[in-house]
Amino acid sequence: MKSDIDYRNKLVLAPMVRVGTLPMRLLALEYGADLVYTEEIIDWKLLRAERHTNEVLGTIDYIDTTDGTVVFRTCPDERGKVVLQIGTASAERAVAVGQMMQNDVAAIDVNMGCPKDFSIKGGMGVALLYDLPRAKAILEGLVQGVRIPVTCKIRVMPDLDETVALAKELQSTGIRAIGVHGRTKTERPRDPVNEGAIARVANALHIPVIANGGSQSITRRHDILRFAQRCSTTSVMVARAAEWNCSVFRADGPLPLDDVIRRYLELSVRYDNSPSNTKYCVQMMLRSLQESPIGRRLLDSQTMQQICDIWEMGEYCRETQLRYHFAGIKGRRACRPRTQSGDGGSVAEGNEPTASKKQCLEESPDSDPEPLNEENVCFIRSNFIDDNSLPKSKLYLHAVRNGLPRAQYEVQQKDKLFRATIRFDGQRYTSSFWEKNKRYAEQAAALVCLLKRGVESRDELIRNGAMLPAKNGPAAAVVELTESSKTDAPGESETNGEARPMVESC
C-alpha cells in the first residue's frame, strides 16, 4: 500500500547542499516547517552506502564504507516529514535508491533544477529539463517502483509556455507535487525571482506546486505566506532565508541569531554531526559577521569542541561526546578500510559486512622484525600554531638533538583512507586511526612516536582531542560524577573549573 503526503499548505525547508543535514532539518521542524528536504545526494553515493542502526544516537545511518562518511542520517523526530532529494541521470539507479530508502524517508524528490556544472555534465539537475524522455523515465520508474510519494524540483525555462508544457509532461508521470524555482538555469540568487512564471505553472497544473526562490523578500513567516500568494500557490520552499536564520518559520517571529546558533549546535552535538558540516552551517548563519572576532574564531576552529566553546557550550559538547564514546558509538575513530572476509564476503574491520566485494583488500600478517608501537591518535591541524610545532618537525628536531637517523615514513592507502608507519631508532610507530589524506597520516604517526618516546604527553593529547581517554581513566570518572546532575540543555551542568578532556571524531 502506498503512503501519502498532502503537499498543499506546506512550509518546506528546501534542499541545500551541506545545509540540509539532520541538525538543520530538525531545527526547521522545531521552528514550524512542515516538511524538510535533505541536501541533494547523488544516487551512486547512496547505492554504495550501508544501512546501520545507530543504537547510541537512536538514528538510522547510511555509511559510505570507503571512508566512514555518514551519507545520510535520520531519526524518529523527522519520520514522516523528511524528503530525500536525489541527483540522478538513471531511472535504474533512481529506482534502486528509492527501494533501498523508502522505509526511512517520507518521499523522494528528483533534482531537476541544479545549475552547477558537475550536475549538468553528469546529465543530472537542470540537464534533465532538456532531456524530457530521460526525466519522465526516471519519474515513472520511481512512481511505479516505490511505495512513497515522488516529486521533482525544476527551474523555469526562458520561454514560459515551454515551462508550462514541460511541467504538464512531468505531471503526467504520476508525481504528487512539483517544486518550481522561479529562475532559469543561468540566473543566480542576485537575479529577481520570476513569481509570475511560478504562478503560470501553478494555475496550469492540478497537482500542488511548491514555490521557491523568494528568499530576498523573506525575513519572517508572514513573508513566506505573502510569497505563496504572489505565486498562486499554497506551499513554499525556503532555502537561503532558512539557511541564514532557521527560525524564519516561527509563527511568533524569528529568534536572535545567537539563540538559533546555540540550538543548532546543541542538535549537532546530540546527533554527532561532523565538525566540518557544523562549521559550514554556522558560517552561513553568520554571513557578514564572519569577519567579526567570533567569525574569526569560528574560521580557526577545527573540532566540534572548539566551535562549541565560542558559544559557551564546550562543557555540554565534552560530556556528550565522552558519553557517546563510552557507549561504544561507531564514529570516525572506528572506521577501517574494507578487508576480505574468510567466506568471500567483504567486511570492514570492526564493523558489519559491506555490500561491495570490489576494492576489498586482504590483510597480510605482520612479519617485520622491528617492534610495532600503535596508539589511536588522530592529527588535528588547529592544535599546532605553526609549521615548526607540527609533529613531523618536532620528531625531526628530536632526532637531530639525540644524534639519531631521520625517521622513515611509509604510507598505506586503502579505499579513500591513509595510514602511515614510521621507522625510527629500531622500532616502528603507527596510529590505528585511518586519516583522510597522506599528510595527516604521517603527522599522526609522528605523534605516536613522540608519545612513546616521552616527547608528547598522553594527558595533553587527550586534552586537545588527539586521543580518547581510557574508559576507566580520570576522564570517565569526571563524566560519571556529572551524570546525576546533568540536564539535556547546554550550560546548565555544574563545573569545578577542571579542564575536561576533549573528544572529537576528527
**Cα separation values, 469 from 301, 372, 449, Å:** 22, 21, 18
Which of these, 475, 406, 472, lies nearest to 442 by C-alpha position?
406
Which residues lie below 8 Å from residue 187, measured CB to CB, with a gap of 6+?
none
Which residues lie below 8 Å from residue 286, measured CB to CB, with a gap of 6+?
257, 292, 294, 295, 298
| Among 114, 231, 317, 378, the one annotated catalytic | 114
Largest Cα separation within the chain, whole Å, is: 82
Segments in 248-358 forming alpha helices (H): 257-270, 275-286, 293-300, 304-310, 314-326
Cα–Cα distance, 43 to 62 (Å, whole number): 13
- Cβ atoms within 10 Å, residue 30: 15
- Is there a contact between 347 and 338 (Cβ–Cβ < 8 Å)? yes
- Cβ atoms within 10 Å, residue 489: 12
What is the DSSP annotation of 373-426?
Answer: EEE-----GGG-SSGGGSHHHHHHHHHHHTT-PPPEEEEEEETTEEEEEEEETT
- In single-letter form, the type of residue at position 69 comes to T
Q: Which three cell numbers stand for residue 5?
A: 503526503
**Computed over its alpha carbons, how large is the radius of gyration of the chain?**
25
Q: Is 13 left (phi over 0), alpha (psi -120 to 50) or beta?
A: beta
Cα–Cα distance, 43 to 89 (Å, whole number): 9
Cα–Cα distance, 362 to 414 (Å, whole number): 10
- Is there a contact between 179 and 109 (Cβ–Cβ < 8 Å)? yes
Tell me if residue 114 is catalytic: yes
Q: Which three cell numbers stand for residue 123?
A: 546529465
Cα–Cα distance, 432 to 419 (Å, whole number): 8
Which of these, 25, 32, 38, 78, lies nearest to 254 by C-alpha position?
32
Q: Which three cell numbers stand for residue 502?
A: 576533549
Q: What are the catalytic residues?
A: 114
